[in-house]
Structure 1
Amino acid sequence: MVCALMILLMTGQVVAADPWPRLYAVTGVAADDVLNIRSEPRASADKIGALAPGARDVEIVRRDRSGTWGRVNVMEHGGWVSMRYLAAQSPGFDAEYSGPLHCYGTEPFWSLSADPVGTAEFRFFDADPVALSAGARQPAMGYSDRLRFALGDTGLAIIRRAECSDGMSDNAFALEIDLILDENRFLTGCCSIASR
């Protein structure tokens, strides 16, 4: 442990205290300007998008090694924004998280949105959405990075912090889901805490 800490200090790597993902608001950007989203975590990298001054609910899924750039999803691409112009809106994801969750998976394509008041909506890509009750969120005993909740009469969702890819885009996620709909349907995917 001490050796690992010394290596981190010697290499200049920053260990982020923030649990990811976390929502931020754009701050310190002039009203007639934008916060550029870059293809890589450096100011000279190509611009691939922009955030408006005062934008809220910007989901950062991780920081770069220096801690000065945050990874953000833009449409079907992942990019980087300067953390200097972001202010945390709320605590990051942990086992006590009570905000909205938006989860996705492929093969087959599906989505799940769960709100903090106990309702959820599940949908397969080619079918109508199905409204479900969502039970109280429960933390895993001894872990601060995961939680679970019941879905309807037979379902269960388990959410945990982990790097996750949807397999279809350049987006990166910081949450992974195991979703059991019933005894015959078990799905996995990625989740976001950003507003939709």
Structure 2
Amino acid sequence: MGLLLWRVAVFIAALCPPLWWLYQAWIFALGPDPGKALVDKLGTGALVLLLLTLSLTPLSRLTRWKLWPVIRRQLGLWTFTYALLHFLGYLAFVLGFDLSQLGVELQRRPYIIVGAAALLILLTLAVTSNRPAMRRLGKRWKELHRLAYLVLGLGLLHYLWIVRSDLEEWSIYAAIGAALLAFRLVDGWRRKKRSHSVANPAR
């Protein structure tokens, strides 16, 4: 598959779900409260996209397919887009853009603070995902973008706080996230050990 075709396929695959959910909400196919259902689907979609983004490195190592890494930035930006739409949907369909109610909501539902923190980190990652930012930040760029795992933790906590007793779906996402984090830690340890061996060869 050509690079351009691959990017277009990923773009269409990421664009279709929110358009479909919006259509379902428009025809009241999402239940008695379509606005809230749309907000929930966008939030879950952001979490799924984040997991997919973090899985690209393991997939690349396992399959040796060179086109996995090229969509990392694209999926990362889609993750931010879904999360932003999730937040805007909350403001529109839950608060009705009545920001005076936000303080009350924060007291009643502190998981909103957790979600907002995750969104702010995603915003930081989104605006620094370009090549000029990579050049300016240098080695710090990778350290900054490791915060994606912090976003994953905050997202899972945010989701857990919402679903509470219905943990089946959350457990699947949490297990995948734990596996990706474990891969990251083991891979980092192996790379560090390998570089140490190269720098200090046995005599």
User: Which category of TM-score, normalised to the shorter sequence, fits these structures?
Assistant: under 0.3
Query: Which protein is richer in strand relative to its size?
Result: 1
Query: Which protein is richer in helix relative to its size?
Result: 2
- What TM-score, normalized by structure 2, do the two folds share? 0.25
- What TM-score, normalized by structure 1, do the two folds share? 0.25
